Each structure stands twice: as structure tokens, then as C-alpha cells.
Amino acid sequence: MAAVFVDGTSETIKVRQLPIRLLPHYLAAIDDEPKLVELLCDKPSGWSDNLRLDSHAAILAAGEELNSESFFAWLRRRVSRQERLAPGSSGELGKALLASASPTS
């Protein structure tokens, strides 16, 4: 897809499906959209700072479409392991995540 910058230039980029090894990085960047965009595009820190807002949003949408299913499956496995090791340690959010697990979710 095209990444469009505020100065009007553009760059052809690839928004990637992250390998399992990088899903902890996805989780760490979940509330840091610029960092998440850079992770999804395999770009250095600061690269996303000059993206147009619509381009930023389009990259996030594409990345979520590519990664949501595998990310939430990985997260459910992670929380399940945590709960087996220390019951109750994942709190209410962990319980809700595990309860939402279904073959179609």
C-alpha cells in the first residue's frame, strides 16, 4: 500500500502479518499508535511521525485486519498459561478474554 506523508510524498510499503515472536511487541505497542505503525511496517522509530493522518489510520486498519485473529489467539494462550501458573493473576480482563474464547471469535 502507499504511505502518504504530510509533505505530499509517498512510499510503497508492506503492512505485515507479524510472526508469533513479535506479538509481545504488538501487545507492548497497542496503546502507542506511532510505534505500532512502525512495527507493522518494519520501519525505524520516528518514521510514522510525518505520515498523513489518513495514511496512519489506513496502515493501522490493515495491520489489525492482518493480525487480530492471531494476536488474540496468542493472547488467550498467554493468559491461560498465566492462570494455570497463578490462578486469578490475570484479573477481570483476563477472565473476560478467556470467556470470550470460542472457535469463531
DSSP letters for 25-50: HHHHHTT-HHHHHHHHHT--TTGGGG
Q: What average pLDDT score do residues 31-40 get? A: 98
Q: What average pLDDT score do residues 95-101 get? A: 58
List the Cα angle 83/85/90 in 5-degree steps. Answer: 30
Residue 81 CB-density burial (10 A; 0-12 exposed, 13-18 middle, 19+ buried): exposed
Residues 6+ positions from 5 with CB-CB distance below 8 Å: 11, 50, 51, 52, 55
SS3 at position 68: helix
| Angle, helix 33-41 to helix 53-85, in steps of 10 degrees | 90
pLDDT at 17 over 90: yes
Q: What average pLDDT score do residues 57-79 get? A: 95
Domain coordinates of the chain in residue numbers?
2-99
Q: Confidence band (pLDDT; 50, 70, 90) for 105?
A: very low
A 10 A CB-CB count for 72 gives 15
Q: What is the pLDDT of residue 94?
A: 54
pLDDT at 62 over 60: yes
Q: CA torsion 57→20→17→31, rounded to 10°? A: 0
